[in-house]
Amino acid sequence: MSPYATSLIAIVKREALRFIHQRERFVAALVRPLVWFMVFAAGFRAALGLSIIPPYQTYITYETYIVPGLCGMILLFNGMQSSLSLVYDREMGSMKLLLTSPLPRWWLLFCRLIGSTSISILQVYTFLAIAAVFGVTMPLAGYFMALPAFIIAGVMLGALGLLLSSFIKQLENFAGVMNFVIFPMFFLSSALYPLWKMAESSQLLYTICALNPFTHAVELIRFALYLSFNGTALIWALLAATVFTLAALWGYKPARTGAGKKR
Amino acid sequence: MNGLSVSNLSFSYGTKPALQGVSFEVPAGHFCALLGPNGAGKSTLFALLTRLLTSPSGDIHIAGHALSKTPRAALAKLGIVFQQTTLDLDLSVRQNLNYFAALHGISGRDATRRIDAALDKLAMLERAGEKARNLNGGHRRRAEIARALVHDPAVLLLDEPTVGLDAAARAAITEHVHRLSDEGTTVLWATHLSDEVGPDDQLVILHRARVLVKGTCGDICGATPLAEKFLTLTASTA
């Protein structure tokens, strides 16, 4: 087997093992979107009237509307979680093992990205299965069509996590990531409300939402789940994924990892 | 040259110099102790040797490969034991070594054979199935040294590998690694404990970012115990 394939399998397997060893993490990662789905959506259902907007062809309940957004939420939180574990790995030293391997660094980091994205997607499908039990279903083919969208969104958000981890020097700084990255990204997007609703209240916020790559990740997922294609969202998400990945690889260059870092 | 060679290596964190014009060589199959007080620049030197950091000035050759020009060929010849434990504590010893082997592109039967041989060398074979978390400090270290040998490196770097171990475990590990150098591996062993260095070992004393003295331990110390000599040397330049 080629060294590249060998390392990819090993890194993905390690991520999977790590995940199995932390079953609480799996439950926690599922509880978060489920709380939104069952509690928040139930409360908001009455308050929020939704008109028919693509890709939907009929009136939908609020629960139905937020399911794609909550899939995005799982990918977003997992991307940040893997960033946290990278910072932890660096503090604990096991990151050094990866960075001193003779295989190219970009490849090893890319393997990590694939590993964490695979775990995220597993969680997304578990969530969709639970949502289906509670009556929110998509066309059967939509579940398959959405897989490439999950991969693109997962890689995009994982790469963002990777990028952040190259700049965060200490675990303690991670709370800042929650406040300044996760929450704004999630709330300034189309995950919880359609953008035209946002435009009604503030044009500025609407513009920010429309530029937010997370919005496009969510829309890509939403359209794919209903067997439609959203070219704009695809281009934006791919572009963001590429930019985040390149920036993250730059962030992990050997000359940069230590420069300015006094030990 | 097949061992390790460092020439004119400098590095600074901002304006604070961490290494200045450091040069030394470890011939193939020799054990070289890198001795220095805390803050002398040992950790920076290790980060540069392992390419966690890079420096624009100076050269590092590992088993004949220039680290700056052919980093992957050089890293493939390098075995590293970091100061901090880098074992995944939830995995067994064998799983840890398998993961490492894969990072070097080694898999399947070849990996199993190499892992068995490396564990055997460190007398750790019977513990292969144990979770790293259940091992004591000395055995964790031995597992890490075995791991660093899986890809048959020409040069082995150890950064203060005996920190936090009791006297018996320290002695056992020091002896194991000396035996590795007798078998042909070039060893660079960073420490601040002078009793880990034998009279025939090579010695490089690093102090305040510079090489203070280098040579054979016996030649440098003569009849004076190394601990005493070390204190005199580092005190006279303080």
Express each pLDDT in A86-107 by its tens digit. Answer: 888 877 777 888 888 999 988 9
B119-138, pLDDT tens digit by residue? 998 889 999 999 999 999 88
Tokens of A127: 């969530």
pLDDT for B148 beyond 50: yes
Contacts A93 to B, Cβ<8 Å: 82-86
Q: Are residues B118 and B215 in the same domain?
A: no
Examine residue B161 and say whether the peptide bond preceding it is cis (omega within 30 degrees of 0). no
Residue A176's Cα: distance from chain center in Å?
18
Q: Is residue B129 part of a domain?
A: yes
Rounded Cα distance between B8 and B20, Å, is 8
Q: Answer whether residue B25 is part of any domain.
A: yes
Chain B residue with minimum CA distance to A11: B99
Torsion of Cα atoms, B42 then B43 then B48 then B51, to 10°: 150
Q: Is B54 in the same domain as B148?
A: no
Q: What is the pLDDT of residue A24?
A: 81
Q: Closest Cα of chain B to A167: distance in Å?
A: 15
> Cβ contact (<8 Å) for A100 and B16?
no
B34, B60: one domain: yes
Hey, which residues does B5 pair with through a beta bridge? B25, B61
Total structural domains in chain B?
Answer: 2
Give yes or no for a contact between A191 and A72, defined as CB atoms under 8 angstroms apart: yes
**Domain endpoint, select from B152, B185, B201:** B152
Residues 6+ apart with CB under 8 A from B47: A258, B53
The model's confidence at residue A263, banded by pLDDT at 50, 70 and 90, is very low
B144 and B158 belong to one structural domain: no
Residue B83 within a domain: no
Chain B CB contacts of A92 under 8 Å are 84, 86
- A141 to each of A216, A228, B187, how far by Cα in Å? 21, 11, 59
On whether both B141 and B178 belong to a single domain, the answer is: no
Predicted confidence (pLDDT) per residue in B76-130, tens digit: 999 999 988 889 888 899 999 999 999 999 999 999 999 999 999 888 999 999 9
Residue A134 DSSP code: T
Residue closest to B142 by CA, chosen among B155, B126, B153, B106:
B126
* pLDDT computed for residue A85 by the predictor: 82
Indicate yes or no: CB of A17 within 8 angstroms of CB of B95: yes
Find, among A73, A32, A50, A69, the residue nearest to A190 by Cα: A69
**Pairing status of strand B78-81 against strand B4-13:** unpaired
Task: Kindly state whether residue B15 falls inside one of the protein's structural domains.
Answer: yes
Which residue from B52, B72, B107 is facing A254, i.e. has the nearest CB?
Answer: B52
In a shared domain, residues B61 and B30: yes
Residue B122 lies inside a defined structural domain of this protein? yes
Are the C-beta atoms of B102 and A10 separated by less than 8 Å?
yes
Which residues make Cβ contacts (< 8 Å) with residue A162, sequence separation at least 6? A82, A83, A86, A109, A112, A113, A244, A245, A248, A251, A252
Please tell me whether residues B32 and B121 are part of one structural domain: no
**Which pLDDT does position A260 carry in this prediction?**
42
Split at pLDDT 50, 70, 90, the class of A196 is confident
Kindly report the average pLDDT of chain B as a whole number: 90
Interface of B with A (CB under 8 A): 13-14, 16, 43-44, 47, 50-54, 72-73, 75-76, 78, 80, 82-88, 90-91, 95, 98-100, 102-108
How would DSSP label each residue in chain B?
--SEEEEEEEEEETTEEEEEEEEEEE-TT-EEEEE--TTSSHHHHHHHHTTSS--SS-EEEETTEETTTSHHHHHHTEEEE-SS----TTSBHHHHHHHHHHHTT--HHHHHHHHHHHHHHTT-GGGTTSBGGGS-HHHHHHHHHHHHHTT--SEEEEESTTTT--HHHHHHHHHHHHHHHHTT-EEEEEES-GGG--TTSEEEEEETTEEEEEEEHHHHHTTS-HHHHHHHHHHHT-
Q: With contacts defined as CB-CB under 8 Å, which chain B residues touch A85? A: none
> Does residue B232 sit in the same domain as residue B158?
yes
Does the pLDDT value for residue B56 go beyond 70?
A: yes
The span from the CA of B27 to the CA of B35, in Å, is 18
Residues β-bridged to residue B162: none
What is the per-residue burial (b if ≥16 Cβ within 10 Å, else e) of A160-175? bbbbbbbebeeeeebe
Domain-terminating residue out of B131, B152, B173? B152
Q: Inspect the interface and report whether the beta carbons of A260 and B75 lie closer than 8 Å.
A: no
> Cβ(B32)–Cβ(B189) under 8 Å?
yes
Q: Are residues B130 and B164 in the same domain?
A: no
B78–A100: do the CB atoms touch at under 8 Å? Answer: yes
Q: Do A260 and B52 touch (CB under 8 A)?
A: no
CA atoms of B15 and B13, how far apart (whole Å): 6
Let me know whether B229 and B159 are in one domain. yes
- pLDDT score for A258: 45
Q: pTM for the complete prediction?
A: 0.83
Please answer yes or no on whether B105 and A21 come within 8 Å at the CB atom: no
CB A242 within 8 A of CB A159: no
> Which of B103, B106, B133, B156 has the highest number of chain A CBs within 10 A, making it the mutation to test binding with A?
B103
**Nearest CB partner across the interface for B50, out of A4, A100, A103:** A100
B158 and B231 in a single domain? The answer is: yes
Nearest residue of chain A to residue B43 (CA atoms): A263
Domain that holds residue B204: 4-77+154-236
Tell which A residues from 232 to 261 touch B, by Cβ distance under 8 Å: 254-255, 257-261
Closest chain A C-alpha to B99 CA, distance in angstroms: 6
CB atoms within 10 A of CB B128: 18
In this model, does residue A175 exceed pLDDT 80? no
Cα separation of A182 and A73, whole Å? Answer: 9
Which chain B residues are closer than 8 Å to A2 by Cβ? 105
Cα–Cα distance, B65 to B2 (Å, whole number): 9
Considering only CA atoms, which of A235, A239, A245, A185 is closest in space to residue A215? A185
CB contact under 8 A, A99 and B44: no
How many Cβ pairs closer than 8 A exist between chain A and B?
98
Q: Do A102 and B72 touch (CB under 8 A)?
A: yes
Assess whether B67 and B172 both reside in one domain.
yes
